[in-house]
Structure formats: C-alpha cells, structure tokens
A and B are shown apart, each in its own frame.
Chain A
C-alpha cells in the first residue's frame, strides 16, 4: 500500500527540478545508520546464546559414549528415549504444573498490587517499584536461604499457623512441591508486578469514573473495563513468569531438597553428575521447544479471542 506521505513525495519530486531532487537524495544518504549500533549486541548474543544452544541441539542428535564423548553418526534415539520414558514424562508434567501454578498465583497476587501502585502513582509508587526491583536483584540463593529459615517446621510461618490454630501439626513447606512453588512465586512476582504496573498506568482513571457514572459497581468496572484493557499485559507478564518458572533451577534444588526433580534439575544432573551430554542436551532441547510452542499457542489464542470478542461486542 502506498501511504499518503509517499504519494505527496511523488508529487513533490515531479514538481521539483532535477538539481534540487539530487540534493534531496544526497541528504537522504547522510541519514545515520542506526542499525550499526545493533551489531555488537547481536554478535555477543550469537556467541554466548545461539552457539551453545546450537551445540546442544547438535549433541542431542548423537549417541552418548560417556565422558562427554558422542558418536559421529546422527540418531533420533535420545528423543525416543526421553519422550517415552515415564519418569521424564512425569517430570515434564510436574515442571509444567509448577510453572502454571506459580504463574497463576503470581498474576493473582501481582495484578491487584500493580493496580494499586498505578492508582497511587507519583513518588510513592516510583519508590515502591524501585524497592521491588532492587529486592528482586538480590541473588536468588540468598533469598531462598531466607525462605528456608521461615518455612521450616519450626519456622515463623508454621509458628503463626499453629498459633492461629489454622493447623494442628506443622505444614511441610520444604523439600516438596509446595516449597518449590513458593520459591517460584517469590522469584517471578517482582517481574510480574513491574510488568503489570506499566500496563495499569496506561489505563486512565477516567475510564473507571466513566463506568461509575454509568452505574457500574467496583467489581463490574474491574471485570468489564480494567481486566479487558489489561489483557495484553496480563498475557505477556504471565508468559514471562511462566518462562522464568519453566527454566528455574535454584528454587527447585534449594527448596525441593533434591526431591522435586523438575526438568532443569534433571538436565543439571545428567550433564554434571552423569556426564551424559547427549541425554542432557536432548532434555534441554525438548524443554526449549515445549516452552516455545506454548508461547506461540498462547499468543495465537490471544489474537484469536481478541478478534472474536471485538465481533461479539459489535
């Protein structure tokens, strides 16, 4: 399609005489090549990210000979093994389940928080967002050790639960899935809040006021105005939290106590402990492919429902 500006440009160049047109052209070539500034970052990510991944994919198609050696011939045997092994399949399901649960809990906690921060606004909100960001930069190990202390059977959380008579025996929150889930939520929540905060800020408060003058309740406004307008942000924040959780290793190891063996934990065990490079590479390739497909599917579903909803409303 030809834009209006381009059409006008055409008209101008017809009107302008030749020398002037040449000078315009020369000016056009003087334009800075912004794309050049991209190349260093592209090179760095190529070396540090794409190359090792390609290496993994290559490894996954070769038979492991032990001690980091692989065969020369190509084979799909690793994939057949990983996909048919019930233990691996169960681990994939568990990783998926924990990630979905962490994402859901994170959104449920983060959405109201982001909404409140966006509505409070000003310096208070900026200060609190920067607090969230800085605490999220504290290394995961330190934060998880803190969780270890308060989540133990004699830890603060259990003492409060017992004192409130919400439970009669201490709740087991370490070395099991619940512990890992708590760790994942703690790991992803700051990112979720910050991302949602950005989205919430773009929803003007006058939309809520308009809804109020039209007789909508607070809940109705939230459901009909806030959530639909934040939907794109919810989906993207959710996907990022999900992706972070799917790859999370530290929380699974430190709070799962080796008993919650998610795929990232198994990959580490395969490669570092068993030096079975081919199997580890296969697991990680399947994990990346799975995450990639889920992201694409969610994106496609979002676009499709958006189009359908627009039709429905009309």
Chain B
C-alpha cells in the first residue's frame, strides 16, 4: 500500500489541455473517486498515474517515489479496465496468475494465491472456466482478482462497473466498497456516475474541463458544492437567475427575474445589484395549489407530472419561462397539468452562486 501524489500535473494534446494543474494527494488506504462528465480529464489523470500517458508537466509520486518517468510495468500497480481486458486465450486461473508468472512466482505459490483470490471474489472452483463463458459480473470480478493478485501498491479502476446493468452495478458497488475497506488498498476509481461515487468514495474529486473543481467527502460535496458545476452534478437541478436586492447579516435578498423576492443565506457578502444564480434541489421544492390572496408567493403552472413509484416529479413553468422541477412524495393528491401552483422552498436550502459560478454560501 502506498499513497499517490499528483503534483501540478498538466497534459496537453496538440496544444489542447486535457488536464490542467491537477493537484491531488491520495492517502494510504484511501478510496478516491474521480468524478466528471466524459472528456473532463478524469481518465487521462488515471492513465497518467498508471503510466500510459506521460504528463506534459508536473510529477506523479507513488509511495513518495517519483514515478513520472517510470514505465507502467515497473510501477507495481493494479488496474481494472472498463471492458475488463481479460486475456481471452487464458482461463480464469491463467488470467489471475498472469502477474505472478511475470514475477517468476513458484507454481505452488501461484496456485495457492489464485485459489485465495477466487475465494475473495466468491468464485471458488471456477479457475478452469474460459473467459468467454463468464457473465459480465463474473468477468468484472476476475479482472479485479487479476489486478489484486500481484499485491499492487495502488489499485486503479477505469469505469469498472460501467458495462454492468443497473441492479448488478449497485450490488457490485457495495461489494467493491467492502472489499477495498477489508484490504485497505489505496484505490483511485474513475466514474461519471454521481451515485456510484457517493457509495464508494472516501473522497470525491469532481473534474470538469480538465480541472479539478472540488475535492471533498461525499457529504461535503453534497452539502457544500463549491461551484455551480459541482452543484448541478450533485443534484441541484433547478437554477434560477436573479439580482441581489438587499444584504444583511448572513442573508441576501434576491430579486428573481419575474420580480419575486426571496431571502437566501450567504456568508460571502454579495454587492446589491450583482447578478447571481440560485440553485435548489428538486426534493426541496414545495408546490401547492395556489390559494386566492397568497399574492406574495412565486407562482407557476404545472406542465408535466411524472410518476416514478416512490415519488412524483412535477415540471412547473414560471411566468418568465423558467422551469422548476419539484420532487414530491407519491402519497400527495395529484396536481393536474395546467393547475396554477405556488412554488417555495425552505430558505436555508437555496444555494447562491455568482456569475462566475463560485459559491456565495459556504466558506
């Protein structure tokens, strides 16, 4: 086991930056997930740690040793690939034993280690199976066992669960998290799935446009997204434009585009007149049939009702054509499309961002 340090790493392809100024330390035994949309630089970053991509600038350290110029095969890492990359010409046991054979391990030692790993991935006695006869989930496990067989210093995983169907993926997430904790192996995993990152990670690194946007525990990210991109990525799906009206201690009054005024908690003091964006999660938006005389509340019209079993999603169109998504408990009496509704949310649930996307609410 070892720590991994990515120090001021940049990667340019033909002048285009794939990764810019990446700075990240993964502690020994930590499970870090690189999260972001495709093309954000997360896979390039992982491949630089593996040694398949040479950084244009910066250093990569594994266990304190500078490996920036070290070939992949000398880095002592384990890697699980998106499509598993199992050797089709070998059996399950042959795949798991591959790394041990390269190191010249004894036959008996290899056999014992393979049996041990088959036990670990809950496939005892399947060593002689051919790769082509395995299901996707089994291939995934074998790929993991093959990577772990050589007792690598670091485990790298590139969208390892991406090819599995939803239910199997959820089961494998829990299994993977438990296994990582039990083995205590330093792990970096790449995914575009926010849910998966939350389940697996000790720490999540959100990336976009080749830059690290925010690093933090799933809790920190969820509660305090440091910019608008991260906020949208962790489920703040409603973004409303507005202007700062008045400011007083810890709160700002925001004038929404329709002229409606709401109070929002803020720690950084915005200037009155500043343009801002307001972000709210759908599950915090409350809607109710509009009563005559509730003149001060924000109102809109139900556009669509989508039943999702345990909850119901409503799209509500505001007067200035902004659409707000509200997630309500399924038990509520349904609101028909066309109904005029009041839209509100608990004051402390709204997050404020400036025009550059920086959070105005946290520290």
Contact = CB atoms under 8 A, between A and B. Distances in A.
Query: Is B a genuine binding partner of A?
Result: yes
Interface of A: 204, 206-207, 209-217, 220, 224-225, 228-229, 231, 309-310, 313-314
A224 B102 CA distance: 10
A274 B127 CA distance: 65
Nearest to B152: A213
B182 interface: no
B72 A313 contact: no
B147 interface: yes
A308 to B, nearest CB: 13
A80 to B, nearest CB: 47
Contact of B91 (A210, A225, A313): A313
Contact of B52 (A209, A225, A229, A310): A209
A206 B163 CA distance: 15
A314 B125 CA distance: 11
B79 A210 contact: yes
A229 B90 CA distance: 10
Contacts of B156: 213
Contacts of B147: 213-214
Given A212-B71, A215-B103, A216-B98, A314 B79 contact: no
B233 interface: no
Contact-residue bracket for chain B: 35 or more
A214 B94 contact: no
Interface in B45-101: 50-52, 71-79, 81-83, 85-91, 93-94, 98-99
Given A213-B79, A216-B73, A313 B50 contact: no
B130 interface: yes
B361 interface: no
A209 B128 contact: no
B3 to A, nearest CB: 19
Contact of B81 (A210, A228, A229, A231): A210
Given A210-B81, A215-B74, A309-B89, 4 more contacts: A209-B50, A214-B102, A215-B99, A224-B98
Given A215-B103, A215-B150, A209 B89 contact: no
Contact of A209 (B85, B90, B98): B85
Closest 7 CB pairs of A and B: A214-B99, A314-B128, A206-B85, A228-B89, A215-B102, A313-B94, A210-B85
Interface string B184-201: 000000000000000000
B146 interface: yes
Contact of B102 (A216, A228, A231, A309): A216
A214 B81 CA distance: 13
Interface of B: 50-52, 71-79, 81-83, 85-91, 93-94, 98-99, 102-103, 127-128, 130, 146-147, 150, 152, 156
Contact of B127 (A204, A310, A314): A314
29 contacts: A204-B85, A206-B82, A206-B83, A206-B85, A207-B85, A207-B87, A209-B81, A210-B86, A212-B72, A213-B73, A214-B73, A214-B99, A214-B102, A215-B76, A215-B99, A215-B102, A216-B73, A216-B102, A217-B73, A217-B102, A220-B102, A229-B87, A229-B88, A229-B89, A313-B90, A313-B91, A314-B93, A314-B94, A314-B127
Contacts of B86: 210
A213 B83 contact: no
Nearest to B149: A214
B74 to A, nearest CB: 8
B83 A204 contact: yes
A279 B156 CA distance: 69
A150 B94 CA distance: 50
A211 B94 CA distance: 12
A99 to B, nearest CB: 28
Most buried by A among B52, B71, B72: B72
Contacts of A210: 79, 81, 85-87, 146
Contacts of A229: 87-89
Contacts of A214: 73, 98-99, 102, 146-147, 150
B99 to A, nearest CB: 4
Most buried by B among A204, A210, A213, A225: A213
B79 A215 contact: no
Nearest to B92: A314
B104 to A, nearest CB: 10
A220 to B, nearest CB: 6
A213 to B, nearest CB: 4
A50 to B, nearest CB: 38
Nearest to B156: A213
B130 A225 contact: no
Contacts of B102: 214-217, 220
A234 to B, nearest CB: 13
A209 B73 contact: no
B76 to A, nearest CB: 8
A215 B74 CA distance: 6
Nearest to A214: B99
